[in-house]
Amino acid sequence: MFLIMDGSEDGKIVFVYSVGKIWKKKEYKDPKNKGVLFFLNSFLAKAGKKIFDLEGLAVVVGVGRFTATRVVVTIANTLAYVLKISVVGIGKDFDLDEVASLIKKAPIGLYVSAKYSGEANIGKPKI
């Protein structure tokens, strides 16, 4: 099973996953993107899958909030490392067939760097 993780929209985490050649989508409301692992576990249970069923991952980068992007990228990279599977970074407007091809071609042990849509505001005074 391939899994796409998308935390780019405020207050929401989206999982898109393959079941054979069919892709399904599941969205969870998560205002602070703090429950990504909780929702991932819930999603896998509802799909009748376990974490070890993952064969490859993709994560949406380049859009969304700084912290949400960091959280989802860190989780994807950690899963890829532990499960010894490939992980790729993709844009928001992805084509599912292209994503599957990218995941299949990606080498195991190469990880995703978070890319952001704007400059980080860490340490800058709030106005």
Q: Which residues contact 116 (CB under 8 A, 6 or more apart)?
A: 62, 66, 69
The mean pLDDT value for 10-19 works out to: 87
Is 71 domain-assigned?
yes
> Could you tell me the pTM of the whole model?
0.85
Is 8 domain-assigned?
yes
The mean pLDDT value for 61-70 works out to: 80
What's the confidence (pLDDT) of residue 31? 65
Is 112 domain-assigned?
no
Note down the domain range covering 19.
2-105
DSSP assignment of 74-118, as one string?
A: HHHHHHHHHHT-EEEEE-SS--HHHHHHHHHHSPTT--PPP--SS
The mean pLDDT value for 107-120 works out to: 80
Is 115 domain-assigned?
no
Cα 63-68-71 angle, rounded to 5 deg: 120
Residue 53 has what DSSP assignment?
Answer: G
Specify the higher pLDDT residue, 59 or 122. Answer: 59
Structural element, H or E, at residue 43: helix 36-46
Q: How far is CA 9 from the centre of its chain?
A: 12
**Number of domain units in the chain:** 1
Is 116 domain-assigned?
no
- Identify the CATH number of the domain in which residue 15 sits: 3.30.420.40
Is 43 domain-assigned?
yes
Is 31 domain-assigned?
yes
Chain-wide mean pLDDT for the chain? 86
Is 34 domain-assigned?
yes
Instruction: Please state, as a whole number, how many other Cβ atoms lie within 10 Å of the Cβ of residue 75.
Output: 18
